[in-house]
A and B are shown apart, each in its own frame.
Chain A
Amino acid sequence: KAGVTQTPRYLIKTRGQQVTLSCSPISGHRSVSWYQQTPGQGLQFLFEYFSETQRNKGNFPGRFSGRQFSNSRSEMNVSTLELGDSALYLCASSWGDRQSTEAFFGQGTRLTVV
């Protein structure tokens, strides 16, 4: 059974640019969440989608956005990139409508902003 797939694995962008990251959840999973991981702050919740609807959002500026498609695949977008956006971005998928249970993570996309 395939796990959570994130693309691309590595990305280098310039300040001010925008970036789109992609996540394909485990087959049959309908909930997708995104997290940012940095050495200083650890793993922080960005947002969660279920059945194409954003259900929760963490404490991040509006430059961070996302969406989910009818096949449960998800994308997140960061506009007007800042140096501090450099991080590992992780996607997690879950079976049902409760993200609390058994969230499985992908390998992440490592974003470097220069």
Chain B
Amino acid sequence: QKEVEQDPGPLSVPEGAIVSLNCTYSNSAFQYFMWYRQYSRKGPELLMYTYSSGNKEDGRFTAQVDKSSKYISLFIRDSQPSDSATYLCAMNRGSGGGADGLTFGKGTHLIIQP
């Protein structure tokens, strides 16, 4: 079992729809959770960063973390064609002063149809 599981998609939705992207993980020590967006032939762009359980909202994006279920989500409201990209979840233990690298999901390819 991989440490982080993410459905690769593709996930295709019409413009304006609410998009839900998810990851599950197995390592209960993970405390920091991130979502990145990656366009083709570009580096990942940090969208959301969350510590421990809870919700965080930034514009059209909402990140949710449920540590009891080892499940994280990213919601995109009023989706736009420019949101079409690969979305990667990432997490780590955040041990500080010797932090591990990030553990990534494989990414979900999202297509927003105009």
Contacts and interface: CB of A to CB of B under 8 A. Distances in A.
A63 B44 CA distance: 25
A58 B101 contact: yes
A21 to B, nearest CB: 13
A45 B105 contact: no
Main secondary structure of the interface of A (DSSP, over half): strand
Interface residues of B, number: 29
A74 to B, nearest CB: 14
B17 interface: no
Nearest to B30: A100
Contact of A103 (B41, B46, B107): B46
Contacts of B42: 107-108
A97 B105 CA distance: 24
Interface string B64-75: 000000000000
B32 A55 contact: no
B43 A99 contact: no
B100 to A, nearest CB: 6
B50 to A, nearest CB: 11
Interface of B: 31-32, 34, 36, 41-46, 49, 88, 90, 92-107
Given A42-B105, A100-B92, 15 more contacts: A6-B43, A35-B101, A35-B102, A35-B104, A42-B106, A42-B107, A43-B88, A45-B103, A46-B101, A47-B101, A99-B101, A100-B31, A103-B102, A104-B46, A106-B43
